[in-house]
Amino acid sequence: MRAFFDIINVIKFSIIKYLLLRKETKMNINILRVIALLDIILIHTLKSQPNFNLLNFMFTFVSIGINLFIIISGYLLLDKDEDIIVFYKKRVVSILPLFIMWSFIYIIYYKENPFYVLSGYRYAAGHLWYIPMILGLYLITPWLRKVLKYCEKETLVIVLLWFIINVLNPMLIFFKLPFLNLSSFPIVGFLGYYLLGYYIKKYSSQLKVKYFYIIYMLGFLFTYFISYYFMNYMGKKNVFFYDKNSISVFFMSISFFIIILKVDFSYLTSKAKKVLNFLSKYSYHVYLAHLLFYEIGLKITKNFYLVTIFCVCSSYLFSYLFDCIIKIAVKIFTIFQSKKNLV
């Protein structure tokens, strides 16, 4: 009998440990999401930073923002098993309404021709390119789940080809070195980062974080000093090495993600966790809104720090108030409907 209770206790302990680990991992992902968002906001607000050395340092750091978002999506979605209709419904409901609303807001603000935007020739605002891209990845997610389930190791070949075409070849071409001419091969865009999110999750326990600290620092130093060299010795600013697919940004993105994923944030207070959960919850809406508030901030002041603070705070405040208004409207509508049904 005692052996039976010992087994039960072991099972209970394992379940509790799993739930605690899952909770902490969720906090790590929330922190990564907030960092990714702030990186993207800084990419825009840094345009008002006149000091090149500071700009170069900050740009080197924030260049990984978009990649982090995509790796997070792959990490969270590609190992799930859910009905395809349920999956698409979740994505459409959570993404499209706000995207459409903000597209119209930017059409009005920038006085864009709505026919050009609606016909797909341009975006209402520059940063909105991300939404069709991520929706494209979501569209093929159910297929990718099946592929990864049965051909996980073989899919690594696709990741390798993606790396050669999108990350390695551009650098070789930039330095006029021999490269593998696979220009007609259709593995482009951000598919590799999306798939790598899955592999990081799958093999997380086998990853030695100390090596990724070294990789991240090497990538950071390479990006910073080569950009510094082009500005100070070639006399021109070169943004190639800040690009999302530059080889140093690639290694920085993967390394940074793994480093933060491996950090134990259990020491955070409940208040700190609530703040981080709040910041993570509204990250998508803030992403859509921040460019408008950046433009408004620039009309108030040209100071980089003040513009950045105004942009972040205003975007979050608007997103929160908008969410409150929607919840109140839904509640009123529900009460009205219930009274109507009673009559």
Q: Which of 121, 133, 135 has the alpha carbon at shortest distance from 66?
A: 133
Lookup: tokens for 160:
């390798």
**pLDDT on residue 285:** 97
Tell me how crowded residue 27 is: count the other CB atoms within 10 A of its CB: 19
3-state secondary structure 209-226: HHHHHHHHHHHHHHHHHH
Strands (E), the chain: none
**pLDDT on residue 342:** 63
Query: Which is it for the CA torsion 204, 258, 129, 109, positive or negative?
Result: positive
Q: Phi and psi of 270, rounded to 5°?
A: -65, -35
**pLDDT on residue 11:** 45
Q: DSSP characters for 8-48? A: HHHHHHHHHHHHHHHHHHHHHHHHHHHHHHHHHHHHHHGGG
Look up residue 282 and give its DSSP letter.
T
Q: What is the pLDDT along the chain (343 residues), one digit of tens a residue?
A: 555 445 544 444 444 444 444 555 899 999 999 999 999 999 999 988 888 888 999 999 999 999 999 999 999 999 998 999 999 999 999 999 999 999 999 999 999 888 888 888 889 999 999 999 999 999 999 999 999 999 998 899 889 989 988 899 888 888 888 887 766 666 678 999 999 999 999 999 899 999 999 999 999 999 999 999 988 877 677 788 999 999 999 999 999 999 999 999 989 999 999 999 999 999 999 999 999 999 999 999 999 999 999 999 999 999 999 999 999 998 988 888 777 766 5
**pLDDT on residue 9:** 47
**pLDDT on residue 191:** 92
pTM over 0.85: yes
Q: Which of 164, 99, 106 has the alpha carbon at shortest distance from 134?
A: 99
Taking CA atoms, 12 is separated from 21, 103, 140, in Å, by: 14, 50, 38
Q: Per-residue pLDDT tens for 303-314?
A: 999 999 999 999
Lookup: tokens for 179:
């490269």
